[in-house]
Structure 1
Amino acid sequence: MSTYQIDRIEKEETKLVGYSITESLNHVLETRIVGILRENLAERKNDIKHRKAAGIHLIQIYPCDGQWTFDVPYQHVVAFEVSAYEDIPADMMTYTLPPGQFIKIVHRGAESEIGNTYEYINQTFGERPLDIEYWSDIHSLDQSDSQIDILIPAK
C-alpha cells in the first residue's frame, strides 16, 4: 500500500541531461518506454559529465490547453542533474528546469502503485503545466519501501 507526505519547497534552477520523448500516457504504460529510457540512462551514467547525483529525474510537461487525457501526447524528459552543460553525448539533450516554489509529495510504496498518488494529486491540486519525479534508486522502485519524490509547481 502506498502512502505519501506533503511539503512546500523552494527549488533552484536545475540543469538536466538525458533523453526526451513525446508520447501519450497510454502508450508509455503499454510500451514501458520511460522505464526503458530510465534503464538506458542509468547504464550510461558515466558518459554524462558533471553529473551531480545518482538519482534520475522524470519531467512530465503537459499541454497548456487543459485538454490532457491519457491519449494526448506530452513531453517526458528522463535525465540526470548536472552542474554544467559540457560534452553532452550526441544522442542526449539538455533541459533546464527554472527555479520556483514547488509542492513536494513523497510517494512511499512500489512504483506500480503511484497511480493512487497521482489520483490524489489531480483531485487536490488540479491541472498543472508539469510534474517532476525523482528516483533516488531505480533498482528499488518495485519494493514496498521505495520512495519517489514528486514535485508540482506551487500556485
Structure 2
Amino acid sequence: MEAKKVRLPSFIVVGFRIEANLDELESGIGKNTYDSLISRKDEILLKKNENMIFMQIYPMKSGFNPRIDRFTQIFCYEVNEVDSVPSGMVSHQVAECNYVTYTHKGLESELGRSYDYLYGQWMREHGHEPIGYDFEVWDDRYKPESSDNEIDMYVALG
C-alpha cells in the first residue's frame, strides 16, 4: 500500500496517558501500559470497536528528539461518546484533520523505517508539514513480533 492523504472526522478516545521518550517507552513502560489497557478495556464504555489506538503527541519545538525528549503517548480505544472515564484513564478529543496514512508491514521493531518515510520523503515530496501528532491502529493484524504484522499509521498534516 502506498501512502495516501485522507481526511478523518473528529473522534474521541479513552485510555491511559503517559509521558515518556522512546527509550523509556521501549524499556517496559509501553508494554506495561498496553497490558494494563488490555486487562481493563471492558471498563471503557461505548467503544466503537476492539481496535486499540496508540497516539503520540509531540512538542512542536526545533531539535525535538523522541529518543531523549519526553512526549505524550495515549494507549486507547475510540468511543462513540464519553459516558464515563474509568479511574486512572483520560479522554482525549481529536479534531477533524487531514492525515497521511500508510500501512506498515513487518516487525514492529522496524516501524522506524515507515515513520522516517512518512515524516521525511513523503512530506518533502508532497509539500506538507506535520502538526504534532500521529497514531497507529492496532487491529487483528497487529502481531508485533511477526513478519505478518500490519499497523495502519496516520500522521496529522498542517
Instruction: Identify which range, 63-72 or 75-84, moves more after superposition.
Output: 63-72
Contact 2:141–2:151 under 8 Å retained in 1: no
1:137 offset after TM fit, Å? 3.2
Task: Indicate the residue corresponding to 1:147 in structure 2.
Answer: 150
Contact 2:54–2:74 under 8 Å retained in 1: yes
Q: For the residues of structure 2 that align with 1:154 and 1:18, how far apart are their CA atoms?
A: 24
Q: Please, what TM-score do these two structures have when normalized by structure 1?
A: 0.89
Contact 1:38–1:56 under 8 Å retained in 2: no
Quick one: which of 4, 17, 20 aligns to 1:20? 17
What are the equivalent positions in structure 2 for 1:83-122 lying under 5 Å apart? 83-122=80-119
Q: For the residues of structure 1 that align with 2:17 and 2:106, how far apart are their CA atoms?
A: 26
The amino acid that maps onto 1:93 is: V
- The question of 1:49 aligning with 2:52 is answered no
RMSD: 1.7
The amino acid that maps onto 1:104 is: T
The amino acid that maps onto 2:48 is: K
**Structure 2 unmatched ranges of 5 or more:** none
Post-superposition CA distance 1:40-76 (Å, at most 9, x none): 2112111110011111111111111122112001111
Quick one: which of 73, 88, 93 aligns to 1:76? 73
The amino acid that maps onto 1:68 is: F
Aligned residues: 151
